[in-house]
Amino acid sequence: MRRIKLNQALAYILLTIWSVIVLFPLWTLIINSFKPQKEIFKDPFGFPKDFTFDGYIAAWKTGRFDVYFTNSLIVTVLSLTLILLVGSMAAYALAKWKSPAANFLYVFFIAGLMIPIRLGTIDLVRLIKALNLQDTIWSLIPVYVAMGMPIATFVLTAFIKELPSEMFDAAKVDGASEWQIYSRIVLPLMRPALATVAIFNMIKIWNDFWFPLVFIRSEESRTVALGVSLLFGQYRTDWTRALAVLSLAAVPLLILYVLLAREFIKGLTAGAVKG
């Protein structure tokens, strides 16, 4: 009994230390966004003495953060919706289709986890140009959907395979079609796995800098990640404004994680105790 308590105490100590390590950069980012630039260099880790909202006001009014934020929000929401919808349907088909072709397609999807999509940047630029999507936020959505499909298919297929086959057989006996089984039975049960896929992909999509840099030049179509990079000058950087923008950019990710934290943990642990 004493040994169990000692192990628990050690686990809590390690988790506390890890939490401090993880939260310290976030704390530094937020408190410095409320400081004048001189105070940031003078005391980067202390609480603000001259509390100011100048960085946030400048970011929203003159930095066009509202435009960048809206563009990133549109791209992220549409991309995630398509990834979850198409990925869940593909996973259901691959999990229930017993054929060598299904195994081949599954491996084909999984290969996307091992091959970085950035290797095909030149061909993607040609494709986006042929579709007349260059310099628009719509050029990013098909790329992000393709980027998110491998992890979505991998996680969701494994999750569906763990569901009892008797449940599907009973639904078919009751006269349910494949679409009804998918939409009314499988989809509600997949919420933990869908939350896991959503968080993984949102982080990559929201923070992506490479493809907006390659595809977009017009200011009206810039995303948050691309807009933030413009605040860092070669000779001078307005750190108060830059840190304010970075703090605002982190808000959607934090909100999504807080809302989906419970489902996210369920999705990560699904199948961990499978016999």
Reported as a single tens digit per residue, the pLDDT across 74-99 is 999 999 999 999 999 988 888 888 77
> Is 27 domain-assigned?
no
Asked if the structure places residue 23 within a domain, the reply is: no
Q: Is 143 among the domain residues?
A: yes
| Beta carbons within 10 angstroms of residue 185's beta carbon | 16
182: amino acid identity, one letter: Y
Q: What is the pLDDT of residues 194-210, one digit of tens each?
A: 888 888 898 889 888 88
> pLDDT grade, residue 267 (50/70/90)?
low
Q: Could you tell me if residue 40 is inside a domain?
A: no
Please give the residue range of the domain that contains residue 265.
63-269
Cα torsion at 244, 248, 250, 256 (round to 10°)? 160
237 phi/psi in degrees, rounded to 5: -130, 130
Model-level pTM?
A: 0.79
Q: Is residue 243 part of a domain?
A: yes
Number of domains into which the chain is organized: 1
The contacts of residue 163 (CB under 8 Å, 6+ apart) are 186, 189
What is the C-alpha separation between 184 and 204, in angstroms, rounded?
30
Residue 259 lies in a domain: yes
Domain CATH for 96: 1.10.3720.10
Decide if 46 is inside a domain.
no
Residue 42 lies in a domain: no
Q: Which amino acid is at 164?
A: P
